[in-house]
Structure 1
Amino acid sequence: MDLAADADVEAILTDEFARESRALAAVVPVLRHLLSSDAEALVSEAILARVRGMIFDLAAQLLAALAGRDPVTRAHASADPAALDRLAAVLMADEVLLAFCHALAAEGLIAERLHQRHAIDPVLSPLLQELIASEDPAIASLAMSTLAAQSRFVQGQRRMELPLGELPAELFHRLIGRAQTEAQDAAALGRLQAGYDEATGRLGLLARLVAAMRRGAMAALALDHAGLALFASALSITTRQLRGDAVLACHEGQGLRLALMLRAGELSPTAIERQLLLVEPSGRLPRGFGGVSAERAAALLGGGGL
């Protein structure tokens, strides 16, 4: 099927993807408003609570470091609640940080839903089990480290915590820069920076594991086999899209985005529909989607504001 010759199908896909994109683009501005107001009940309480918790947790770690303590100690009897509120307010003004925290909160909640509906383990997926048992010791070791990091992530999400070391490098250094306005001892932040290694964080480990799988990474594009964490990283790397967008594509109401990303990753329409049904029980591919090439799907994603 040639979409260039079928304006109706092209229009349907474009309109639906534009609708999903508008919904996704509205998330961060709404988060900023709701986090600074009392209107939390109007949206998902769970998402808001986790985002707020992670922001305050980051602020508490930064203040602990500035006080010369290990950031993992976080709360302390001598901590200044006003300073915590002030720094958290500064962090909440960072839209990139809010978007990152929102994607993590969504990942945690989507993983819980997949576990409840389809028994997809949020920590140890069948694919990760296979990689841990790999005859290649480097891959097996990397898979074990990923398992430990994923377990910490699931536990941290339940406690609404986000360790500073789990931030991407750009965000980590930006937060350090913001904290310098509160710093009495610059050496404390220097020590924090010296101990940071993006490659050893959960997202770094997941990306390294996908890269180590080489062509076998296609196996990670099966949500029930790979689990959400590995699936999102593989989808992000395969399609060259942001990982947060890959996570949010698994949210209910973003079915076309997920379908386009999977098609850009060269999955067949039949395989794509199987993934859609895991995310949305009523999920179906639009009529005519079978004629969308991987190149056309990538072009549509690129024009959708991702």
Structure 2
Amino acid sequence: MGEETMDLAADHAVEAILRDELAREARALAAVVPVLRHLLSADADALVSDAVLARVRGMILDIAAQLDAALAGRDPAVREGGDPAAREALAGRLMGDEALLAHCHALAAESLIAGRLQQRQALDPVLSPLLQELIASPDPEVAGLAMSALAAQSRFVQGQRRMELPLWELPAELFHALVAHAQASAPDSGALVRLQAGYDEAATRIGLLARLVAAMRRGAVAALALDHAGLALFASALAAAARTAREAAVLACHEGQAARLALLLRAAGLGSEAAERQRLLLAPGAPLPPGLAALSPEQAAALAGAATAR
């Protein structure tokens, strides 16, 4: 009885330590979008040199250009033309959309983290070893999805370099909200109607990666090896296995989020040694949270979920 009481006390102590660390990481994450909104509205050129801020600003301006083109009856893929002042005004309104800012921030973070992995680990941000294997799969569904995901990932990397984000790559909730907002000022826009009719969330990069992970079935555990799967596929596999949002999985890979990443890896079913190998690829200087091995995947998922909900 005494040993059981001591074990329970130890479990509570471990969870308390992890909760404190997660609370610190959650405060850092929660501050990101309000800070982005403030900086994006400021006329300070020095701040634009920040990589994340510049990419988020670029993506918002690109979305505004596409919506402006659609409102004018032009092809949204052709960004040129139209009234620059109208685009800037629309972009200013979009910069107040916290959901859109959060999504753009996650994409910018994914791109920059992938760039660091390429520098440190020589990991190609487009064609990872696992994706190459999946393209050669004897399963035609897996091979086809892998080829489509490869093309989408290549477009994503190129688009990030140009600081562009095509409207049809947005998640469904964001896409339809933006189109509905635009339609409020131009209800008879044929370009907006065609844009909405042609949208398919399953064909987006994130949709294709999710479908590929699902098609891998039990083999999806291979995608939880970051240096084999690449960041894009790793983040989708981690989100699916840990039952969290992909954006949360991406941001857990950011520096300063080691506890959250470790918990998500444990929630995905990885043991402490395997989780440590993945964490070291992303945050080599950060210590592994104490007591992680003692947590069950269910406990890790509950802790990570509670922290994400704050």
TM-score (norm 1): 0.95
Of 115, 118, 122, 1:115 maps to 118
Q: 1:4 aligns with which of 8, 11, 34?
A: 8
1:84-124 C-alpha deviation (Å, 9 max, x unpaired): 01111111111000000000000000000000011111000
Q: Determine if contact 1:31/1:48 at 8 Å carries over to the other structure.
A: yes
In 2, distance between residues paired with 1:106 and 1:282? 19
- The Cα of 1:42 is off from its aligned counterpart by 6.0
Name stretches of at least 5 consecutive residues in structure 1 with no aligned partner: none
Query: Which of 91, 95, 99 is equivalent to 1:96?
Result: 99
Distance in 2 between residues matched to 1:198 and 1:113, nearest whole Å: 29
Q: In 1, distance between residues paired with 2:305 and 2:143?
A: 35
Change (3 A) 1:121 1:87: same
CA distance in 2, matches of 1:130, 1:59: 38
Aligned length: 304
Q: Is the 8 A contact 1:66 1:184 kept in 2?
A: no
Where 2:286 maps in the other structure, the secondary structure is: coil
1:286 aligns with 2:284: no
Root mean square deviation, CA, Å: 1.6
Work out whether 1:20 is the aligned partner of 2:25: yes
* Matching residue of 1:38: 43
TM-score normalized with structure 2 length: 0.94
Q: Which residues of structure 2 form unaligned runs of 5+?
A: none
How far does the alpha carbon of each residue in 1:230-286 deviate from its partner, in whole angstroms, 9 at most, with x for none?
Answer: 000011111111101100100010000000000000101000000111001213312
Q: Quick check: 1:276–1:284 contact (8 Å CA) kept in 2?
A: no
The verdict on how the C-alpha distance between 1:242 and 1:172 changes in structure 2, with shifts beyond 3 A counting, is: same
CA contact (8 A) 2:262 2:289 kept: no
Tell me, what secondary structure is at the counterpart of 1:121? Answer: coil
| 1:1-306 mapped onto 2 (5 Å cutoff) | 4-6=8-10, 7-38=12-43, 41=46, 45-76=50-81, 79-183=82-186, 185-306=188-309
Aligned residue identity for 1:172:
F
Q: Is the 8 A contact 1:103 1:247 kept in 2?
A: yes
For residues 6-54 of structure 1, the C-alpha deviation after alignment (integer angstroms, 9 at most, x for no partner) is 1432221111111001101111111111100135756971101100000
Q: What is the alpha-carbon distance in structure 1 between the residues aligned to residue 45 and residue 236 of structure 2? A: 30
Deviation at 1:185, TM superposition (A): 3.5
Secondary structure of 2:230 counterpart: helix
Q: Do the aligned partners of residues 98 and 210 (structure 1) sit closer, same or farther apart at CA in structure 2, a change above 3 Å counting?
A: same
Amino acid at match of 1:173: H
Conserved 8 A contact 2:263-2:292: no
